[in-house]
């Protein structure tokens, strides 16, 4: 599309600038995590971390992990996010298969209600949800953060409806003629055909739960149950004076997701692109 050579250079410069602005805060975060407190509060500003490749370079990390139990918080976040994502890849394909392949009374109504609830801000429903969890005695357990993922997932359901509708009907017909049950067709024919979408939904579910703040904040009030996001906010309110430790904790909180992202970015970005085309 680009004709002139000079405009191609301008575009390249702009793209590099945009990419730089997007990742600079993360570089700055990592850089600060290898600084000592006096370097952070010194002028002129140091970009290069003073402790990097020197004795005691991992000091901030050691403090955050052992003294402020970020290792435990990371494990809690991992456990919650993994189980919640697992719930999504079980419950969403089931509902989608019924919506995409079966006709039953109430189908349109239920679909419309699911679509409607997508737009409801979480703040509208969170108080009754909290009350329910309180009555169930689930406060200070991981259950309020995991069980709902096994029971609902409007976004994942919509995603799988279109994936299942795109699977050639010849496969469906063959399975029906062979006399396979509906469950067999779902789990043995349709589910394996949708591996890429299953992986994508798992990753998205994992990330959303990993990054969630509101629900962990409400449901987990004991330090040994904290997720990384609450750990980070508690750390921030109690130790704001220590930027080095705060940003070290931030690095630890985003690192697992960034590693997953580096390996799976193609899936994630392609999934978002197909969502865009549908509109």
Partner 1 sequence: MAEKQKFKWHSWATPYILIFPTLIGLFVFRLIPIVSSFVLSFSNWNLIKDPVFNGLENYKELFSDPDFWVILGNTLKITVGYVVGGMVFGLLLALLVNNKIRGMNFFRAAIYMPVITSSVAVGIVWLRILGPKYGILDYLLKMVGITAPYWLQDPKIALWTVTFVQVWKMSGYYMILFLAGLQSISTDVIEASVVDGASPRQRLFRVIIPMLSPTTFFVFTVAIMDAFKNFELIYAMTKGGPQNATNTLVYSVYVNAFSYFRVGYAETIAWVLMAVVGSLTLVNFYVKKYWAQPLE
Q: How far is the CB of 33 from partner 1 (least distance, A)?
A: 11
Q: How far is the CB of 55 from partner 1 (least distance, A)?
A: 25
Distance from C-alpha of 8 to C-alpha of 1, rounded to nearest angstrom: 10
Q: How far is the CB of 14 from partner 1 (least distance, A)?
A: 6
User: Closer to partner 1 at the Cβ: 55 or 61?
Assistant: 61
State both tokens at 130: 């909290």
Q: How far is the CB of 20 from partner 1 (least distance, A)?
A: 8
Q: Are 174 and 239 in contact (CB under 8 A)?
A: no
Closest CA to 242 of 46, 95, 33: 33
Q: Are 214 and 126 in contact (CB under 8 A)?
A: yes
Q: What is the largest CA-CA distance in the chain?
A: 76
User: Closer to partner 1 at the Cβ: 66 or 272?
Assistant: 272
Distance from C-alpha of 263 to C-alpha of 86, rounded to nearest angstrom: 19
Q: How far is the CB of 60 from partner 1 (least distance, A)?
A: 14
User: Closer to partner 1 at the Cβ: 55 or 151?
Assistant: 151
Q: How far is the CB of 91 from partner 1 (least distance, A)?
A: 5
- Strand, helix or coil for residue 66: helix
Q: How far is the CB of 201 from partner 1 (least distance, A)?
A: 14
User: Closer to partner 1 at the Cβ: 52 or 125?
Assistant: 125
Rounded (5°) CA angle 87-93-95: 95
Q: Which phi and psi angles does 200 have, rounded to 5°?
A: -65, -45
Question: In Å, how far are 18, 43, 197, 208, 278 from 267, measured between CA atoms?
Answer: 22, 43, 8, 16, 17
Q: Are 201 and 155 in contact (CB under 8 A)?
A: no
User: Closer to partner 1 at the Cβ: 60 or 250?
Assistant: 250
User: Closer to partner 1 at the Cβ: 55 or 78?
Assistant: 78
Q: Are 218 and 130 in contact (CB under 8 A)?
A: yes
State both tokens at 199: 């992986």
User: Closer to partner 1 at the Cβ: 72 or 217?
Assistant: 217
């Amino acid at each position: 599309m680009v004709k002139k050579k000079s405009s191609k250079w301008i575009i390249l410069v702009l793209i590099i600038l945009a990419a730089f602005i997007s990742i600079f805060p993360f570089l700055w975060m990592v850089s600060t995590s290898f600084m000592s407190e006096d370097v952070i509060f010194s002028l002129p500003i140091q970009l290069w971390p003073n402790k990097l490749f020197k004795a005691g370079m991992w000091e901030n990390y050691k403090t955050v992990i052992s003294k402020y139990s970020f290792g435990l918080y990371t494990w809690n976040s991992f456990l919650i996010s993994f189980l919640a994502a697992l719930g999504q890849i079980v419950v969403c394909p089931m509902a989608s298969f019924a919506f995409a392949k079966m006709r039953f009374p109430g189908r349109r109504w239920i679909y419309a209600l699911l679509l409607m609830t997508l737009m409801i801000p979480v703040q509208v429903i969170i108080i009754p949800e909290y009350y329910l969890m309180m009555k169930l005695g689930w406060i200070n357990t991981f259950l309020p953060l995991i069980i709902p993922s096994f029971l609902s997932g409007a976004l994942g359901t919509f995603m799988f409806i279109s994936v299942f509708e795109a699977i050639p009907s010849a496969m469906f017909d063959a399975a029906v003629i062979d006399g396979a049950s509906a469950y067999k067709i779902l789990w043995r024919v349709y589910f394996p055909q949708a591996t890429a979408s299953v992986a994508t939904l798992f990753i998205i579910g994992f990330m959303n739960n990993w990054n969630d703040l509101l629900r962990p904040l409400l449901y987990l009030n004991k330090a040994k149950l904290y997720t990384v996001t609450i750990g980070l906010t508690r750390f921030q309110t109690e130790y704001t004076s220590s930027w080095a430790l705060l940003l070290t904790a931030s690095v630890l909180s985003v690192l697992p997701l960034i590693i997953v992202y580096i390996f799976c970015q193609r899936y994630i970005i392609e999934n978002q692109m197909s969502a865009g085309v549908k509109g």
